[in-house]
Amino acid sequence: MKNKVVLITGGTSGIGKACAFVFGKAGAKVAISGRNQQNLTETSQELAAAGIDNLAINADVSIEEQCERMVAETVAKYGRLDVLINNAGISMRALFEDLDLDVIRKVMDINFWGTVYTTKYALPHIMATKGSVIGISSIAGYRGLPARTGYSASKFAMHGFLETLRTEMLHKGVHVLIACPGFTASNIRNTALAANGQQQGESPRNEGNMMTAEEVAERILKATLQRKRDLVMTFQGKLTVFLNKWFPSLTDKLVYNHMAKEKDSPLSK
């Protein structure tokens, strides 16, 4: 990663922030984006204190023009772009029958369209460096999760987009990685949207038993250096993908029962 340039969307918390430190410590120059200026400033100062050359960009990935500007500012400062990590994301938890459709629109705008917009403007630069496009996805992109219709749909869409892009880039030297961390200790569940579009405010899961964001970031760096296609990080995740492929009806029941055990689950017990 020495002297490589990495752009990370949603780079002020969770997996995005951990990637900024991990890729930066491996020698990369790091650009991070986010919507909260205070969080951006604080993260940039932390990166600088760790000796990491960085650029903080206030941008909302759900707005195409801001994604174009984000890429332009990165290339203007560093002269190149080697790795794009599409990390910005939002979750939701509610039964579809109770859900305000604006929740799905918002989730798709950030998770799917944010990836499409940023990748569109970054791709010419990444083609020039024969670099990497990375999508931080989820097991929800392989297997629909009950009470997560919008989130699962956005991750399935991301998978289809990146898989197609990978195939188009097959002979052009661009590496495309879809990384699925499984349940990771981050703030994505705290900020997940409820049926009415408000943030649920607390995680329904025990965050202490999960893989840390730093562990996830280390594995993403390794997979990037090895130019892997897919990265499913947990045994539970790998088992879910396997079972869903070969025993889909059984997996329906297993997934329902597992998700129903969440604190305050909207699923009937």
* Average confidence (pLDDT) per 10 residues, the chain, 269 residues: 96 96 98 97 98 98 98 98 97 94 97 98 98 96 95 98 98 98 62 83 57 93 98 92 96 93 82
In a domain, 14, yes or no: yes
In a domain, 140, yes or no: yes
Predicted pLDDT of residue 114: 98
In a domain, 179, yes or no: yes
Predicted pLDDT of residue 197: 84
In a domain, 223, yes or no: yes
In a domain, 257, yes or no: no
Q: What is the CATH number of the domain that holds 209?
A: 3.40.50.720
In a domain, 267, yes or no: no
Structural domain that includes position 84: 5-237
Predicted pLDDT of residue 81: 98
Active-site residues, by number, are 151
In a domain, 107, yes or no: yes
Predicted pLDDT of residue 206: 53
Predicted pLDDT of residue 211: 83
Predicted pLDDT of residue 20: 98
Predicted pLDDT of residue 246: 98
Predicted pLDDT of residue 2: 94
- Please report the DSSP string for the chain in residue order: -TT-EEEETTTTSHHHHHHHHHHHHTT-EEEEEES-HHHHHHHHHHHHHTT--EEEEE--TTSHHHHHHHHHHHHHHHS---EEEE-----B-B-GGG--HHHHHHHHIIIIIHHHHHHHHHHHHHHHHT-EEEEE--GGGTS--TTBHHHHHHHHHHHHHHHHHHHHTTTTT-EEEEEE--SEESSTTTT-B-TTSSB--S-SS-GGGSEEHHHHHHHHHHHHHTT-SEEE-SHHHHHHHHHHHH-HHHHHHHHHHHHHTSTT-SS--
Predicted pLDDT of residue 39: 97
**Domains in the chain: how many in total?**
1
In a domain, 177, yes or no: yes
